[in-house]
Structure 1
């Protein structure tokens, strides 16, 4: 897609009812992005995008985020091979959240810990318990750390 896909914000009416992508980035130039697995709609991760990451995602169909800790773009899977192929991109009513639906493949994992989803634990009473199956890869082997 061309770079004209992302537009400056205009009126409330146009933002809420119009058909132009007018994302609202915060004071740090970031917008939250929820990522789901396209076949199951399972939430697999949450990350931030800046305008460059959003453009790169749209242009390449590879989920691209902004790493706040590293201060740079992060193409998901560039280190691990666990590429997230974007099948659908949505925004909410006031265009201040991005939702992407991705294909991670049958044995794909979204989490750097090796789990399919970053949300592999849940609160059970007062403690967290594992609820995300087994890791799909060994992070020490994949990331050579």
Structure 2
């Protein structure tokens, strides 16, 4: 969906939808309500914003690792290092992008508690879509609001064709 169509749908009261694609056995479409069905984790986050200084927020939502694992990434679980080649591209409806490695969120490696937040300061994110939250980041640049797409791919060459 184009950025302008996504913005128009959201303005018209449509529920924001997240599309998860890539090297997956089970690509998915989810709303914030769908994310609430997952075990919820909370993160108290303080990050520096270049335009407004330090921000303090409380986010709640499932772990990105849990949601993406459920989509069946196309790596061989018996070969632990096979996961290391996978990248996760996240896009917000406003066009903001970030890329993470699978190893960054995998409990066997970095184990970062990255959230797909369903609430921000106890306010549901249904109208705008989930937010990517990296509690370990000092800078909030990878906190992507209104996520409309996540793509999981098994390497740099695949990522260059992603969007």
Q: What's the TM-score once normalised by structure 2's chain length?
A: 0.28
Q: From the two aligned structures, give the one with the greater helix fraction.
A: 2
Structure ranking higher on relative contact order (CA contacts 8 Å, 6+ apart): 2
